[in-house]
Structure 1
Amino acid sequence: QSVNCSPYVDQLTGFSGDLDLKQRSNLIHLENCLNSEWALGKNNIISWCPAGNGILIIIAPHYAIAEYVTAVDSDRSLSDQVKVSASFITDLISGDRQLSHTQLLKVSRLLHIEPRLIELRQSLTKDPLETEIIEKMVRRYSVNYVASRAVTLFDIVGFGLLTPFEQMTQLNSLSYSLNSAHAKMLELDVEINFARSTTGDGFYIWNRDEGLTANVNLYHFMHLVLADNAIASRKSLAKTVPELRACFHVGSCYEFHQAEGLNPTIHDFIVGEVTIELARMIDAACPGQILVGDFMTNLFEQQKAPRIDLVSDLDAISFLQRAQNSLSKLKGLELSGERVTAIKCYLTGEELSNGEFSIRRLDITDKHGRTRVAYNAKINIYRDTAQPILLGIQDK
């Protein structure tokens, strides 16, 4: 029996308004069917494909994905000797979920899961917009793996020592800085589809868009959040504005929607290698410090359509150079009524004999005895007549 859920189609701002009434009704019916198959979070929808007057879907209990991989690693077998590789499962829950009919049946045989047919009120139109909405709906009822996601972590210093009222006030202040930075980037036509997930005393922030440009935009977004916080801190007399420390890293993660009542949440959550590294780095960060993780990643860079280039083996140092070179997109930015004339972002180190600076690698050992490398970052924002905003701390 279908659960009467709030139409997710209507919450896809900018999408559903372009659908005719029959398409919209058809997709709302599909959404209700997917919600029923999701079974309050018991199941994950892995793949789908159009089939006649409906769609075929492959559904597995949320624990089954891990069990498939465990069966390989431990040489155990599930029922009917189901054995698939970890990379096969990862591929299934990465990127687009639509498969061809042949591909879906092959996956069905490998996983020993019978596909389920959802009858629709009318056949799908093959409209790209319609397909995109179905993809978003299916991903909402599943776990999604992203191999390379840039995430920044903002942490409020001394949060546990604050009164409950001060905690609430400082979290609201940080939320305002996030929204203010977002608005400033939109004014400059710099796109960032940012998402947030609370840590209790701060937020994980990431760009839902993927690729090199999206990651660079997130790094600039971090600049503006910290700048807004610094300006507010100068004006504040009470403990209403938080003292922050921040970390930036690129790595893999799983994205999912938690159950909230009878439906999955609209906003997604993340957990994975990137959040673990950020949590370990932030523990070692000093008040006011900005740390950048030591990452190596492959990213796509959008050129003039339809060209897309792959940037291979991009490390943290090369990434920061690209971020510095792209600061022209923030031209015209105003902070606290003052026009920004220049922004400089860099990784710190020792001064060399030739007057240049090295980049110091910081070894961070966590409570588990594991060591990782990070870099100390600085951002200097210069304005017309006001004093510069200096973010981060000096190299020590």
Structure 2
Amino acid sequence: MQEPLRSHPSAGRRDDLRLSLNQLLFGLSQFGSSAVVAWRPSGKGLEIVMLPKSRLFQLKEREERIFEGPRHCSDEEFKLIAGFLGVQPTEIRLDFPIGGSGNGLTHDDVESVMSRYSIGFARFRTVFLIDVVGFSKHSPEEQASHLSTLKFCLSLAEATLHQKGLPMVMGRSTTGDGYYVWNLETGIEEDISLFVLMTLFSLYYKSLQREMTDKMPLPELRLALSGGSHYVFYEPSPKYVARNEYIVGDVTINVARLIGKARGDQILVGDCANQTVGSDVWTAHRYVLAANKVLDGFRDLNVFGDRVEETRFYLTGPKDEARFRNQKIKIVDKHGFEHICYNAKVNTHMKSGNSIFAGLQHRDLRHAAKG
């Protein structure tokens, strides 16, 4: 049992109390090597179930509540998790109340701290990966400039979504020569917003690429977008700083494999299907249609002095009689695993008469990598 946790001299301030609780958990987690699986208020403070992360990932049986949902559990859930893991809960005694009292912390306050030390699981989320073609061939100064430009275009695209009131809180982690990008919030609307984010990012980047001088041209990019499951974890800190979220799982592996087979200036979209909303399945094709409806609201968008007439994200394919059909592409990664995807394009026509294109046309794929 832990010694009572003394609050900061400014005992009524929630920030100070959260910081005190965070510092205690940082020590208990052994620099983040253990994860908080469950917590509940107790008569004298809190009870928590904590387990080394290595043991969590070695569980032979899976209990949904261990990775999914908030870490704040009902008494019944708490007992179930502790029993399932065979772990004795740790009691943390506090000299301030947990709950509705104004001089303590609310349940949401505690959850915001506990989540920093947890591992979550998302059954489906869309993610896209940006890769700079030939990144290692550039000088360190050019590399820094290129990554800075990617961040600028991503931030500009996110701000544009916010202006329209779309649900987007961008998560981003570097791969060294690019970025994984996702929406911190999950849901159908949030996934659609990510398709829109990638569309606007492509538009802004291509527009800048046109304007750059020959002395420091912007490089070609490869983009891959897909959806799937993944784990979520955070970087613990003894200071109560902004929470950094990281993701890893099937979806990040899939987009990385797609990028590995993509050509310069190509956009690949994985043949993903979101079945987390019951029988209402959301396919890549359905997401694209929904994203284009949202993009109708961006007509007249000012892009570096020129205004958008229309912008469209679409999956390519051959023309059958009077219409185009989306064609699936099979690629085989370096490990021999097959991945099904679509080639995609972003076409934008400006009011000035200019057109900005991102991605390869279907007829350009004749020599694309197929295995």
TM-score of the two chains, using structure 1 as the length reference: 0.83
Taking a change above 3 Å as real, the CA distance of residues 245 and 110 of structure 1, as seen in their structure-2 partners, is same
8 Å CA contact retained: 2:22, 2:240: no
Amino acid at match of 1:375: Y
Task: Say if 2:69 is the partner of 1:95.
Answer: yes
Deviates more, 1:321-330 or 1:372-381: 321-330
Shift of 1:135: 2.2
What is residue 147 of structure 2 aligned with on the other side?
Answer: 171
TM-score of the two chains, using structure 2 as the length reference: 0.88
Q: 2:254 aligns with which of 259, 277, 289?
A: 277
Task: Say if 2:324 is the partner of 1:357.
Answer: yes
Amino acid at match of 1:333: L
Deviates more, 1:258-267 or 1:358-367: 258-267
Amino acid at match of 2:54: Y
Task: Say if 2:172 is the partner of 1:201.
Answer: no
Task: Say if 2:307 is the partner of 1:339.
Answer: yes
8 Å CA contact retained: 2:347, 2:358: yes
Percent identity, please.
29
Mapped to 2, the partners of 1:281 and 1:362 lie a distance apart of: 11
Q: 2:81 aligns with which of 100, 107, 122?
A: 107
- Give matches, 1:8-157, under 5 Å: 21-69=12-60, 85-86=61-62, 88=63, 90-126=64-100, 130-157=106-133
Q: 1:254 aligns with which of 228, 231, 234?
A: 231
The Cα offsets for residues 82-110 of structure 1, whole Å up to 9 and x where unpaired, read as: xxx22x1x431112111112221222122
Mapped to 2, the partners of 1:269 and 1:182 lie a distance apart of: 19
Amino acid at match of 1:182: E
Deviates more, 1:162-171 or 1:233-242: 233-242
The Cα offsets for residues 251-300 of structure 1, whole Å up to 9 and x where unpaired, read as: 11111123568889831111110011001100111111111001111355
Match of 1:63, SS state, is helix
User: How many residues are paired up?
Assistant: 353
Mapped to 2, the partners of 1:205 and 1:55 lie a distance apart of: 35
Task: Say if 2:349 is the partner of 1:382.
Answer: yes
Task: Say if 2:362 is the partner of 1:391.
Answer: no
What is residue 268 of structure 1 aligned with on the other side?
Answer: 245
Shift of 1:165: 1.6
Root-mean-square deviation over aligned CA pairs:
2.5
Amino acid at match of 1:57: I
Amino acid at match of 2:206: A
Q: 1:159 aligns with which of 132, 135, 138?
A: 135
Amino acid at match of 2:22: E
Taking a change above 3 Å as real, the CA distance of residues 314 and 178 of structure 1, as seen in their structure-2 partners, is same
Mapped to 2, the partners of 1:186 and 1:100 lie a distance apart of: 36
Mapped to 2, the partners of 1:340 and 1:41 lie a distance apart of: 47
8 Å CA contact retained: 1:52, 1:123: no
Amino acid at match of 1:217: S
8 Å CA contact retained: 2:196, 2:294: no
Shift of 1:242: 2.9
Mapped to 2, the partners of 1:149 and 1:130 lie a distance apart of: 29
Task: Say if 2:160 is the partner of 1:189.
Answer: no
8 Å CA contact retained: 1:45, 1:141: yes
Amino acid at match of 1:343: T
Amino acid at match of 1:275: T
